[in-house]
Structure 1
Amino acid sequence: MNAPITAPRLTVGIISTGRVGTALGEALVAAGHDVLGVHAPSIASQTRAALRIPAARLGSIPEVTEAAQLVLLAVPDTELPAVIEQVAAVARPGQIVAHTAGAHGVGILAPVAAAGALVLAIHPAMTFVDTDDDVQRLASSCFGITAADDIGDAVAASLVLELGGTPVRIAESQRTLYHAALALGANNLNALITDAVTALRAAIDGPDQRADRATVDGGADGLAEQVLAPLVRAALENVLASGRQALTGPVARGDLSTVQRHLAALTELPDSGVAHGYRAMAARAATQQGNPDFLEMKVS
């Protein structure tokens, strides 16, 4: 009987072990690859690496690069050019060098490609919280992949599939737009929900409300988040399933009077940005509903 065919195992070096690099390192180990070395410049990253990738040795960027067949650059965008310069100085033909920056394709890795290495852009479309849940989230994530040719494309896709993710091809020229879309949906969602929590807390803790009577059981600690959680989760699922047709509420009904009263109430909050944010999002929702003049009214 022939032995089963398995994917070739790679020796891996990770630069550096922040949230993204550590999660990917753990996932690569789980897929059978050998994470031999990591570059961890801070105490926090060194501690993280020791706890979650204990077999990996700490090393400088050149040391980690020279020891690995696959080098993963998981550093902030602002640090990427300087790291690439160090990697390019010791990169070699046959090596795979991939970065995880969403807004860049493989063009930024040109110095590494000139050294003969295969260069890839592999970006997990996921937020990371620095817990064991990060690896599980990777298995249900899409990854934006970009390569210079079909061989690189196949390698990038294979690596993502090994991690349990779904590879999505993004053209080099569209990486910035791709990353902007993710920031619009995820990062700005944080700002939106933070404002909603602020307004709801003010309503729950207002001067006419006894804090110990906010619920039948007593106090109001964490109550704003508790109220919003099932609502925003359902709204997110609905819009992902049905698009703009899923919109409910006063804008969808064309109820200008209610929107005006909302804005007046929000204007009373100490943070004026909450009202400005509401107005901007309501105007955008109205435009998407085909009623761009909906909020053309005088509201302070």
Structure 2
Amino acid sequence: MNRDGRLGVGVIGAGRVGPVLAAALAGAGHALVGITSGSDDDRVDAILPGVPVLDALEVVRRSELVVVAVPHDELPGLASGLAEVGAWQPGQLVLHPDPAYGTAVLAPAAARGAIPLAVHPAISFTGTSIDLRQLAAAYAAVTAPAAVLPIAQALAVEMGCEPVVVAEEDRPLYAEAIATATEFSRSIVRQSTGILAGIGVENPGGFLSALVRSAVDQALASGTAADADPPLS
């Protein structure tokens, strides 16, 4: 860490989430040292122009904070694999944004002296700069050992989010809540727009936009769908 508190940040995983979180941390003044290659390097370069593309070992070697943003099923193997080759460094921050895992999945890194952090911003990522605006209005689920919880909370704030502590044992239920809200919303909107398109309504997504947003806002404000006003008949 530099004297001004800046960290050298590296990213393993060039999907939709990792580059956005890196861009948010860069916006907070941290230095980006590298990112692994992905399936859409042009999109990553659009949000992280000029950041070196490195292999995972080199990203870890250069970084004080490693953001590990890989698919859910790959995270345990990656954490243990890098531990087996001695990649993790004592005092290094290792952060993952997976909603379902707490910090136990990073135990192999912690055993090497790294500091495990789980920070999941509750937004639907597009992998573009649009996400940076969403982060500014979002909450983030934060899980970390008590001694380093303030570090995880501070990083969530630097990403633009309001941190909310979620216990290690509650992460699976948290992930279920996130998945339910996300998938149910998408399914309902797809079904409704399909019906409208079928009866000849042009731009069904635009037609439903104000209705869906207001209905969701009412449900979120009340905290339960049972308190919402019934539809007009």
- Of residues 227, 245, 269 in structure 1, which corresponds to 2:227? 245
Deviation at 1:144, TM superposition (A): 0.6
Q: Deviations over 1:134-190 (max 9, x none)?
A: 11111111111101223x211000111122210110000000100110111122110
Partner of 1:47: 42
Within the alignment, does 1:200 sit opposite 2:180 as a pair?
Answer: no
- Among 170, 175, 198, the residue aligned to 1:174: 170
How far off its partner does 1:7 sit?
A: 5.6
Question: Could you tell me which amino acid in structure 1 is paired with residue 137 of structure 2?
Answer: S
Alignment of 1:146-185 (within 5 A): 146-150=143-147, 152-185=148-181
- For residues 52 and 164 of structure 1, the distance between their equivalents in structure 2, rounded to whole angstroms, comes to 16
Tell me what 2:122 maps to: 125
Partner of 1:231: 211
Give the deviation of 1:109 after TM superposition: 0.6
2:202 corresponds to which residue?
A: 221
SS at match of 2:128: coil
Classify 1:7/1:188 alpha carbon distance in 2 versus 1 (closer, same or farther; 3 Å): farther
**CA distance in 1 between partners of 2:45 and 2:195 (Å):** 42
Judged with a 3 Å threshold, the aligned counterparts in structure 2 of structure 1 residues 181 and 61 are, in CA distance, closer, same or farther, namely: same
Which residues in structure 2 correspond to 1:101-140 (within 5 Å)? 101-140=98-137
Equivalent pair of 2:142/2:165 in contact (CA under 8 Å) = yes
CA distance in 1, matches of 2:13, 2:216: 33
- Counterpart contact for 1:17–1:48, Cα < 8 Å: no
Larger Rg: 1
Whole-angstrom CA distance in 1 between matches of 2:158 and 2:210: 33
Aligned residue pairs total 227
Alignment of 1:26 with 2:6, yes or no, is no
TM norm structure 1: 0.72
**TM-score computed with the length of structure 2 as normaliser:** 0.92
The superposition leaves residues 91-141 of structure 1 with CA deviations (integer Å, 9 ceiling, x where unpaired) of 111100011100000011110000000001111110012322111111111
SS in 1 for 2:17: helix
Amino acid at match of 1:65: V
CA distance in 2, matches of 1:196, 1:41: 34
CA distance in 1, matches of 2:31, 2:98: 23
| Contact kept? 2:12, 2:67, Cα under 8 Å | yes
CA RMSD of aligned residues (A): 1.7
The gaps in structure 1 that reach 5 residues or longer are: 1-5, 206-219, 251-257, 259-300
Q: Which runs of 5 or more structure 2 residues have no equivalent in the other structure?
A: none
Residue type at the aligned position of 1:71: V
Runs ≥4 in structure 1, deviation > 6 angstroms? Answer: none
